[in-house]
Amino acid sequence: MPTVIVVGAQWGDEGKGKLVDVLTEKADIVARYQGGHNAGHTVVLNNEKYVLHLIPSGILHKKTVCIIGNGVVVEPAALLEEIQGLRKRGIKVEKNLLISRNAHLIMPYHIALDQAGEKMRGKKCIGTTGRGIGPTYVDKMARTGIRVGDLLNPDMFLEKVSANLKQINFLMKHLYGSRGFSARKICDGYLGYAKELGRHIADTDVIINDAAAAGKNLLLEGAQGTLLDIDHGTYPYVTSSSAIAGGACTGLGIGPTKIGRVLGVVKAYTTRVGSGPFPTELSDSIGEEIRRKGGEFGATTGRPRRCGWLDTVILKHSAMVNGLTGLAITKLDILDGLDTIKICTGYKYRGKLYSHFLKELDAFDGCTPVYEEMKGWKESTLGVKEFRKLPKEARAYIRRIEELVGVKADVISTGRKRDELITLRKQF
Ligand code: GDP
Ligand code: IMO
Ligand code: MG
């Protein structure tokens, strides 16, 4: 079945943007299923860098329809800025971008609550992107959320915002000691955005299912990564949505029987932004070197990413909860030149060895990784397009990852550009 989910297998920033852009060549529709503008997906085309936050990474292909699904949370000003930024660079963003009527809106008070909550947590903060993601999903589940479709009904919009502000303003004043919000001001701003966004709003579930029924190629793009998933990640140091492959079904309204493949994007090492446990984190010069060489700074917030060795235990967990059918291993070139490469194959906690993901946060936080050492390679892998042309040590590294995770590598990425890629198995 020609429906492929692209999902982050670690803590985000695995290179999903590049993979989605490459695979879009064969896709009729690319649809984002969760998250918001906390995401930063980078695509490099003709030596120019594009960072997509809300718009699917397929947008650089003119003929593909891009969909922002119901599972995504949308900050309209950020979306408009992204649309305008792309248009200025000559990228077509017209009817080829559709937004689900049911996607929830990030409101100004969500952003304020996110930032105030983080401040109050102090040292125990999650290190969110401060974009209002968590509070927006809270309102969605509390059934007090405001949706993209509400932008088309000004009276109802004002009514809903006013009702919400009764509680929110009380909290802002009495808990956080800050000023409240005016419903009228919010409505004026948001209804202004509606004029621009209105023509993109659609019943995207029907469009997606009709396309699937017609045998079209669908590419479903995840944001964040499995370890940031609200249920299957390192809770509470996670994001507030279902980043795993299952989230594609709820976040777009497509049934699991329609999914053909699930491609897990895996960086050849591990990175994480924000707080939370990270057993293989390197605080030495190798970690520093990987950060420098890999340009490991957040695409959204610019924060330095924490870097460490590849952890195949979390990847096994990822393979399981996503039902991965293949791996896309990215940034192999960043490991060029290392004498030794370490792979985490298990954890030691309180004298005991574990070969599976430790779900208790204290154990995961307090464990020491067990490593297997592999010989590095001195040759450059940048831009290599055939597996057999990789240095033998690099081939051995890939084969060992496949063995430990129990999933084959379908794709290996050897650079930022579209053609810096080895395809071992086609997705469509
Ligand atoms: P995403 O959030 O998963 O889309 O990933 P990001 O865009 O946040 O971070 C991945 C970064 O790595 C971007 O700067 C990409 O341009 C870059 N990148 C992706 N694949 C490769 C690769 O194979 N080699 C190198 N050197 N860079 C890559
Ligand atoms: P992409 O799609 C990496 C992290 C934040 C923080 C936690 C919660 O580019 O891979 P949030 O603002 O979502 O409430 O923050 O999640 N985070 C990401 N880390 N890549 C991302 O997206 C992320 N989106 C959120 O740093 O630790
Ligand atoms: Mg990113």
Mean pLDDT over 74-100 rounds to: 97
Spacing, Cα 276 to ligand 2 middle (Å): 12
Mean pLDDT over 316-344 rounds to: 98
CA-to-CA distance for 379 and 229, rounded, in angstroms? 37
Catalogue the active-site residues: 13, 41
CATH match for 104-197 among 3.40.50.970, 1.10.10.10, 1.10.300.10, 3.20.20.150: 1.10.300.10
Closest CA to 128 of 77, 138, 281, 249: 138
What pTM was estimated for this model as a whole? 0.98
pLDDT recorded at residue 1: 66
Helix (H) or strand (E) holding 346: strand 340-349
What percent of the chain stands above pLDDT 70? 100
- For residue 404, give Cα distances in angstroms to 10, 166, 200, 283, 339: 15, 53, 44, 25, 21
CB-ligand 2 contact for 38 (6 Å cutoff): yes
- Asked if omega into 304 is within 30° of 0 (cis), the reply is no
Per-residue pLDDT tens over the stretch 143-178: 999 999 999 999 999 999 999 999 999 999 999 888
Quick one: which ligand is closest to 329's CA?
1
* Identical topology for domains 3-100+201-262 and 266-423: no
Contact 108, 76 (CB under 8 A): no
- In CATH, the architecture of 3-100+201-262 is 3-Layer(aba) Sandwich (3.40)
Q: What is the dihedral of CA 350, 356, 361, 365, to 10 degrees?
A: 60
pLDDT recorded at residue 57: 98
CB-ligand 2 contact for 41 (6 Å cutoff): yes
pLDDT recorded at residue 300: 80
CB-ligand 2 contact for 229 (6 Å cutoff): no
Atom of ligand 1 nearest to the CA of 20: 4
Closest CA to 167 of 239, 110, 122, 240: 110
The residue whose C-alpha atom lies closest to atom 17 belonging to ligand 1 is 416
Spacing, Cα 184 to ligand 2 middle (Å): 31
Spacing, Cα 225 to ligand 3 middle (Å): 10
CA-to-CA distance for 101 and 99, rounded, in angstroms? 6
Name, in order, each residue with C-beta under 8 angstroms of 305's C-beta and a sequence gap of 6 or more.
13, 271, 272, 273, 291, 296, 297, 298
Spacing, Cα 13 to ligand 2 middle (Å): 9
Quick one: which ligand is closest to 303's CA?
2
Q: Where are the beta strands (DSSP E) in 160-290?
A: 201-202, 218-221, 261-267, 270-272
The residue whose C-alpha atom lies closest to atom 23 belonging to ligand 2 is 224
List pocket residues of ligand 1, CB cut-off 6 Å.
8, 12-18, 40-42, 44, 295, 299, 330-331, 333-334, 413-416
Quick one: which ligand is closest to 267's CA?
1
- For residue 39, give Cα distances in angstroms to 192, 270, 330: 25, 17, 18
pLDDT recorded at residue 373: 98
Spacing, Cα 16 to ligand 1 middle (Å): 7
CB-ligand 2 contact for 71 (6 Å cutoff): no
In the predicted model, is pLDDT for residue 118 greater than 80? yes
Average pLDDT, whole number, for the chain?
97
Contact 37, 300 (CB under 8 A): yes
pLDDT recorded at residue 301: 82
- Domain residue limits, the chain: 3-100+201-262, 104-197, 266-423
* Residue in this structure with the two tokens 């120019």, named with its chain if needed: 48
Spacing, Cα 249 to ligand 3 middle (Å): 22
Q: How many CB atoms lie within 10 A of CB 207?
A: 18
Statement: 266-423 belongs to CATH 3.40.50.2300: no
Q: Which two tokens stand for residue 198?
A: 């209105």
The residue whose C-alpha atom lies closest to atom 27 belonging to ligand 2 is 274
The residue whose C-alpha atom lies closest to atom 16 belonging to ligand 1 is 416
The residue whose C-alpha atom lies closest to atom 11 belonging to ligand 2 is 128
Spacing, Cα 175 to ligand 3 middle (Å): 33
Quick one: which ligand is closest to 296's CA?
1
Atom of ligand 1 nearest to the CA of 18: 19
Atom of ligand 2 nearest to the CA of 114: 14
Per-residue pLDDT tens over the stretch 41-76: 999 999 999 999 999 999 999 999 999 999 999 999
Per-residue pLDDT tens over the stretch 195-240: 999 999 999 999 999 999 999 999 999 999 999 999 999 999 999 9
CA-to-CA distance for 207 and 218, rounded, in angstroms? 11
Paired sense of beta strands 65-68 and 29-32, if any: parallel
Phi and psi at 292, nearest 5°, equal: -70, -50
Taking a 5 Å cut-off on Cβ, the residues next to ion ligand 3 are 13, 40, 299
CB-ligand 2 contact for 43 (6 Å cutoff): no
Contact 266, 9 (CB under 8 A): yes
In the predicted model, is pLDDT for residue 90 greater than 70? yes
